[in-house]
Amino acid sequence: MAGIEHIKVEPDEAGMRLDRWFKVHFPGLGFGQLQKLMRSGQVRVDGGRVKTDARVQPGQMVRVPPLDVDAKASKSGPIAGKELKHSGDAELLARMLLHEDDKVYVLNKPAGLAVQGGSGVSRHIDKMLEAWTSQKGEKPRLVHRLDRDTSGVLVVARTRGAAQKLTAAFRERDTKKTYWSLVKGVPRKHEDKISTWLVKEATADGDRMRIAKHGEEGADHAVSFYRVVETAAQRLAWLEMEPYTGRTHQLRVHALHIGHPIIGDPKYFEDDPNWDFPGGVQKRLHLHARHIDIPHPNGGRLRVTAPLPPHMVQTWNLLGFDEASAGEPDDE
């Protein structure tokens, strides 16, 4: 157990919510524990009692009572499945946070967590964001989507104005989204463009996208790019994929279309009696929104990279893939 600490708020922490400030400095401290410390007056800012949604300013002194040192590490790192069910909304969102400023949050969405509600969905990010409603009563807004089973970068607007600008950037395709996937087999072309028309059809297992016939009603044009980063014994390939358009399940359908479905895809991976699923690889969707480059509402560009989810880290380690092989751009 450490003694009482008084920590000075740094200039780059201006306006940060106090609960987020604690998340940065003490990632192992649970949200419930923090609330208890505040209610009892053990956490103070400049000597005064505060609430978790208070905003800190440079030069302020935060009183931190003795904390279990082990707690600093226990709650950092990837979010486990049971935590998705049992942790509080604000705590989970803080764990996902990759970037925060006055206009934008960027989250690293875990695989298995829905972005919006729907049939059979009990918990989703859109509802969870109510926990981060501002003091002005403004709830953060979604500006794009990720499939439930896809992990990675999710941009959220903090204000109405920011939402309008970010939504426009997605609509006008002034964004660059990079995904990492693991697919069955190795594409013949090292890199290529995939251009098809997609249409939605209802199946016994829910809605599914398929390649449309020429001139089929209700079809949308979909364009994706891919390149092979690394391969494993010609049985598996790590693809870097970029969707130019933003259709439902686009990358997943396009991977299937070129004969190389994404490993663990519950909708589009088709069993093959002549192909054995690799041992040690989890049967979970291996598709991760790795990087985004988008105009920032305040000007300039926002570039954020999301770490791989645990099941893909396990696979990359198993196959000996080196993340540096992708030659990624630096974040700013």
Distance CA 52, CA 65 (A): 15
The residue type at 248: T
**pLDDT on residue 119:** 76
Give me the sign of the Cα torsion angle 95, 96, 100, 103.
negative
**pLDDT on residue 68:** 63
Check if the beta carbon of residue 263 is closer than 8 Å to that of residue 282: no
Torsions phi, psi for 162 (to 5 deg): -65, -40
Within 8 A by CB and 6+ apart from 125, the residues are 93, 107, 109, 113, 114, 115, 116, 142, 154, 156
Distance spanning both ends of the chain, measured CA to CA:
37
Distance CA 73, CA 210 (A): 45
CA-based nearest residue to 9, from 39, 52, 46: 46
Distance CA 134, CA 160 (A): 12
**pLDDT on residue 90:** 85
Within 8 A by CB and 6+ apart from 162, the residues are 103, 104, 297
**pLDDT on residue 75:** 45
Q: What residues does each domain of the chain span?
A: 5-64
**pLDDT on residue 55:** 87
Distance CA 178, CA 303 (A): 11
Of 68, 89, 147, 272, which is the active-site residue?
147
**pLDDT on residue 80:** 62
**pLDDT on residue 82:** 64
Question: To which residue do tokens 């992708």 refer?
Answer: 326
**pLDDT on residue 330:** 57
Q: What is the mean pLDDT of each run of 10 residues along the chain (332 residues)?
A: 75 77 75 84 92 86 77 51 73 89 94 87 91 89 95 96 96 94 96 96 86 90 97 94 94 97 92 82 95 95 93 92 78 52
| Fold of domain 5-64 | 3.10.290
Instruction: Write b or e for each residue in 126-148: b if 16 or more Cβ atoms lie within 10 A of its Cβ, otherwise e.
Output: bebbebbeeeeeeebbbbbbbbb
CA-based nearest residue to 232, from 302, 162, 199, 185: 185
Active site residue 147: yes
**pLDDT on residue 71:** 42
